[in-house]
Amino acid sequence: MTSSSLQAYEHLIRNVPDFPKPGILFKDITPLLQNGPALRAAIDQLAEITNDLNADLVVGVESRGFLFAAALAYATRRGVSLVRKPGKLPADKVRLDYALEYGSDTIEMHSDAVQPGQRVLVIDDVLATGGTAGATAALIQQVGGLVVGAAFLIELEFLGGRVRLGDIPVRSVLKY
Ligand code: AMP
């Protein structure tokens, strides 16, 4: 099996209609996570499509993003920093409130999670509307980090989330 054969595992991404709300088709990656060769192919492909960005550090978005960020960081010998939901991080932190389609959300990051000038790659499982990834990039930039790219296992292209990332290069393994 080569690292470019993740398409062979697309059936391991389960479509769950009307979760968590009516009208949302949820892309459930847990069957893929349970399959060793598929997980390896996914991480290998994330590494391949982001190699040219020359990141120093990977930032993972809670919570499924942590799985891919940590595995990618390990595979590429980089460190990983965390962007979390409010109230989870113990030390000095920065926070950002951002608008969702309906309502708002908040994310936090330790103030020293990214060093000024550090080249950072943002990782999450799914790019949907781009609100979360856009807010994550803004938080990293707020502490002086350079966001060199954002990468996702799955991009829901029809939602146009890339726009929320402006000029930041966006890479994805599987597009729907
Ligand atoms: P967004 O901020 O709209 O790009 O949403 C991104 C976050 O919500 C990611 O962390 C995803 O894990 C999750 N998400 C949004 N839509 C879906 C979906 N259809 N299937 C699975 N996860 C989703």
- Label the pairing between strands 146-155 and 119-127: parallel
Residue 71 pLDDT > 60:
yes
Residue 43 lies in a domain: no
Per-residue model confidence (pLDDT) at position 52: 98
For a mutational test of ligand 1's pocket, the pick from 28, 33, 125, 126, i.e. the residue with the most ligand atoms closer than 8 A to its C-beta, is 126
Which range, of 1-10, 57-66, 82-91, 117-126, averages the lowest pLDDT? 1-10
Residue of the CA atom closest to atom 18 of ligand 1: 26
Tell me the CATH number at 58.
3.40.50.2020
Residue located via tokens 């290998």 = 44
Q: Is residue 11 part of a domain?
A: no
Look at residue 30 and tell me if it is in a domain.
no
Atom of ligand 1 nearest to the CA of 64: 12
Q: Which of 123, 135, 125 is nearest to 165 (CA)?
A: 135
| Distance (Å, whole) CA 12 – CA 35 | 8
Closest-CA residue to 84 (of 74, 71, 69, 102): 69
Q: What is the pLDDT of residues 15-36, one digit of tens each?
A: 999 999 999 999 999 999 999 9
For atom 13 of ligand 1, which residue has the closest CA?
126
Residue 8 domain-assigned (yes or no): no
Q: Is 36 exposed, middle or buried (0-12, 13-18, 19+ CB in 10 A)?
A: exposed
Does the CA dihedral 79-84-88-92 come out positive or negative?
A: positive
> Is 66 inside a domain boundary?
yes
Cβ neighbours, 10 Å, residue 146: 15
Whether 146 shows a pLDDT value over 80: the answer reads: yes
- Write out the residue range of the structural domain in which residue 136 sits: 53-175
What's the pLDDT band for 128 if we cut at 50, 70, 90?
Answer: very high
User: Residue 98 falls within a domain, yes or no?
Assistant: yes
pLDDT of residue 103: 84
pLDDT band (50, 70, 90) for residue 155:
very high
Beta strands (DSSP E) in 38-155 are 57-61, 79-83, 93-99, 104-110, 119-127, 146-155
- Percent of the chain at pLDDT above 90? 93
Degrees to nearest 5, angle at CA 72 with 24 and 150: 55
Nearest CA to ligand 1 atom 16: 128
Whether the ω angle into residue 63 lies within 30 degrees of 0, i.e. cis, is: yes
pLDDT(2) > 70:
no
Inform me whether the pLDDT recorded for 68 exceeds 50.
yes
Residue 157 lies in a domain: yes
Residue whose C-alpha is closest to residue 37's, from 27, 26, 48, 45: 45
Q: Do the domain assignments include residue 111? A: yes
pLDDT on residue 4: 52
How many domains does the chain fold into?
1
Q: Which residues are catalytic?
A: 64, 101
Does 1 score more than 60 pLDDT? no
Structure tokens at 48: 């391949």
90-126 pLDDT per residue, tens: 999 999 999 887 789 999 999 999 999 999 999 999 9
